[in-house]
Structure 1
Amino acid sequence: MTELPGLNIIITDRLVLRPLVHTDRDAIYTLRSNAQVATCFANKKPQTRAEFGVWLKQVMEDGKEKCVGHCVELRVSSQREGKKREAGEKENIQNGENGPVSVDEKQREKKVIGLIGAHQVPEIGYMFLPQYWGKGYATEALKAWMLWYWEAFPGDNEDRGYLKAMTRLGAVDSRNVLQKCGFRWRDKFQLELEQYEEERKQEATEGKKYLTVDVWIVEGPRLRRNSGASS
């Protein structure tokens, strides 16, 4: 697993979004192998270690030029952050050092609670551990990630001018998050389910499997300006 180049840390009121690194492998597997998290997958199946390895290679190595992903961590609360900063400053003084504690150290809980980004630009996705559902973290993270994305990739490339997401039919929570972040429903789509090695052997007799999903679109600032100028 390689680190994605050119990505920045994004800080919100409650979260820190940071680029994926090689040491995140186990944390990401914990997410993708969780049965509750898997209910949001197209095939609703938690990934095995072998399946996760295939997925990770496809995303992080084979498709790394189109992968723009961040891990989501909790941000240290203001009270704890102050104590941590004070302790860090004392340690610096004792060590004969000057300067503030790095943002990375003073504001991160250092526990991955979610994953967000575009594994195949322009399609975005996100997932969080179940104990962090219903707290507004997904909306907060996606809004911040989108602001960063439009600044980092202003839309000179056609694929970068908009973002899209796909949700299972009836996925109310996911739909609400997307709508709060400006996405609009575009269409329904027949999605071919992912076929891993052990499932491909059955494909000849059972045929390919498909799932109908909702497709959501949000335009970037450049496309919105262009459509406004032409209207």
Structure 2
Amino acid sequence: MTSTTLPILPTYPPTIQTDRLLLRPFSPTDVTQYHVLRQQPEVMIWTSAIHCDETISQTQEWMARHQTSPDLRTFSFSIEELSNPGQVIGSAGCSVVPGKQPEVGYMFRKEMWGRGYATEAVKAVLNAYWNLERGEVEVESHLEKEGIVVEKEHCDQCKDSVDYTSYAAGFQVEKLSAVTVSANVGSRRVLEKLGFVMVKEFKDWDTGGRECIEYILQRPRH
């Protein structure tokens, strides 16, 4: 286990406005629109679920996992276009499981792809997440457990903003992880634009042995 810091997550995340998007807390009334999103096979193939939600109850269960519970804390947002208020186009957020590495995730309706919305939304989420009040805790990452050392050449474009020494010294600096399917080029580009470093390639046997990539992002130095 490694001593680090983690955010003290609020019961409800704030409402955030970017140039084109509104990020707000989940609402029970979002379920119908999320069900539409989670019935798009082009979206779901990249998720851990792989398959589309067949019933509204499955979507409700997914939404419930994004609310506060004893074994999972989240900092999750429903996302709307400012130009089309009331229409949920996706979600983004960070999840914190006690004793594990915090993780960021996001998904958007297929008709919204290619507009830069994922980068814009996740950038806003990260900005808010890093600015939350923090406390000291102990966590264990897959990388730490397996003795994986981050090499500088893994992400040359990030070399000016990432303290690689801290990774090799035992992961003392707080960080976020992100996992994506290797073939999901769009998601990989989003993460790399935002400064995430690719640190591990692996087969995810929980989803049939798909080739996946783990990224990490170190907390910015202020």
Q: Corresponding residue for 2:143?
A: none
Q: 1:154 Cα shift?
A: 4.2
Instruction: Tell me whether 65-74 or 147-156 shows the greater mean CA deviation.
Output: 147-156
Q: Distance in 2 between matches of 1:6 and 1:65?
A: 14
Q: Distance in 1 between matches of 2:59 and 2:131?
A: 31
Q: Corresponding residue for 1:123?
A: 103
Flag the 1:167–1:182 CA change in 2: closer, same or farther, 3 A.
same
Q: Is the 8 A contact 1:42 1:211 kept in 2?
A: no
Pairing 1:21–2:27 present: yes
Q: Is the 8 A contact 2:34 2:59 kept in 1?
A: no
Q: Corresponding residue for 1:70?
A: 77
Task: Output the amino acid matched with 1:39.
Answer: I
Q: Distance in 2 between matches of 1:53 and 1:62?
A: 15
Identity among equivalent pairs (%): 31
Q: Corresponding residue for 1:38?
A: 44
Q: Which has the higher contact order (CA 8 A, sep 6+)?
A: 2
Which ranges of structure 1 fall in alignment gaps of 5 or more residues? 77-107, 195-208, 226-231
Which ranges of structure 2 fall in alignment gaps of 5 or more residues? 1-9, 140-172
Q: Is the 8 A contact 1:124 1:163 kept in 2?
A: yes
Task: Output the amino acid matched with 1:150.
Answer: W
Task: From the two aligned structures, give the one with the greater helix fraction.
Answer: 1
Residue number among 176, 180, 184 corresponding to 2:193 in the alignment: 180
Q: Which has the larger radius of gyration?
A: 1
Q: 1:133 Cα shift?
A: 0.5
Q: 1:53 Cα shift?
A: 4.0
Flag the 1:158–1:19 CA change in 2: closer, same or farther, 3 A.
farther
Pairing 1:189–2:202 present: yes
Q: Is the 8 A contact 1:143 1:181 kept in 2?
A: yes
CA RMSD of aligned residues (A): 2.6
Q: Is the 8 A contact 1:42 1:168 kept in 2?
A: no
- SS state at 1:47 partner: coil
Q: Distance in 1 between matches of 2:186 and 2:135?
A: 29
Deviations 1:118-160 (A, max 9, x none): 2445111111111110000100111111001100144644569
Give the TM-score of the pair, scaled to structure 2: 0.69
Between Structure 1 and Structure 2, how many residues are aligned?
175
Q: Corresponding residue for 1:146?
A: 126
